[in-house]
Amino acid sequence: MPKEIATPSKTREILDKYGFSFKKSLGQNFLIDVNILNRIVDAAGMGEADGMMEIGPGIGALTEQCAKRVKQVEAFEIDGRLIPVLEDTLSAYTNVTIHHEDVLKADVETVLQGMRKNVHETAIVGNLPYYVTTPILMKLLEQKLPVARMVVMIQKEVAERIAAKPGSKEYGSLSIAAQYYADARTVMIVPKTVFIPKPKVDSAVLCLELRQSPPVHVKEETFFFQVVRASFAQRRKTIWNNLLNNFVGKDNKEHLAASFEQAKINPQRRGETLSMEEFAELSNVLHEYGSLFDK
């Protein structure tokens, strides 16, 4: 088998061979540590009868480690300059298919449904560009895809926000949105020194174990997330002020006050102190008055 891609010398050899230059606009940072890649694959928990979908394979460092472990790998790469590179670096692996597509625009669900005909279980992995981490994750989570889990390397600060618990300064609407769909845990912190080029901040490997059903009951999901987002519109303000100014409108003070009383939530609390269960209860009560509010 060829020398592993994720070493400093092999990575530089590939970059030099193709005269590849990094595009800042695509947030390209290639990992040069095989041990960390193996931790990602380990966390995905897939075996030889399973499949993996990868986002942003780059020059194929993580793709290679996935291909060694599972039956089928489908990878989405937005940068056309990397397609011939990947065809070269992954030529030894017949179980890899590269899709030259933006994963935000791609029909991921159809690809995964096709995989399900050939594999037992599927996971999504990837080293996500910092600038589109949240849109990618939320698209994949909201689609409720047929995958067991997602294991992604993202900016450490974003990972902390996604996995945050109520009462912490990191906890916010992103925490609730992600945890509504998945159980989130940080697998490891990844120092910026193990990338080419070196990013300005450290990264983290985040595992999102997809839920079979949400942990709370909400009457209407879109409405629930609107309430959550409005509650964090200005973090230093109370949930009363945030909802009054950013959701229900000042003409509905009476209905808002009644909603807080019915939900048994103190309106002087801040959004970061409310659990997902409390947000769900408040959202369900507010939903009864929904036609009165400007959403």
The candidate with the shortest Cα–Cα distance to 73, out of 48, 49, 92, 54, is: 54
Which helix (DSSP H) or strand (DSSP E) does residue 209 occupy? strand 203-210
95 is in an annotated binding site: no
Strands (E), 27-66: 30-31, 51-55
Q: If you write DSSP's letter for every residue of 124-141 in order, what string do you get?
A: EEEE--GGGHHHHHHHHH
29 is in an annotated binding site: yes
The candidate with the shortest Cα–Cα distance to 180, out of 149, 208, 158, 146, is: 208
Lookup result for tokens 């909400």:
218
- Determine the angle formed by the axes of helices 173-181 and 221-231, rounding to 10 degrees: 150
The candidate with the shortest Cα–Cα distance to 127, out of 153, 107, 105, 158, is: 153
Q: How far apart are CA 159 and CA 40, in angstroms?
A: 14
The candidate with the shortest Cα–Cα distance to 106, out of 87, 86, 130, 126, is: 126
**Dihedral sign computed on CA atoms, order 18, 21, 23, 28:** positive
Lookup result for tokens 């629930």:
224
- Determine the angle formed by the axes of helices 276-287 and 221-231, rounding to 10 degrees: 110
Q: How far apart are CA 206 and CA 189, in angstroms?
A: 9
127 is in an annotated binding site: yes
Residues flagged as binding site? 29, 31, 56, 77, 102, 127
Q: From the annotation, which residues make up the binding site for S-adenosyl-L-methionine? A: 29, 31, 56, 77, 102, 127
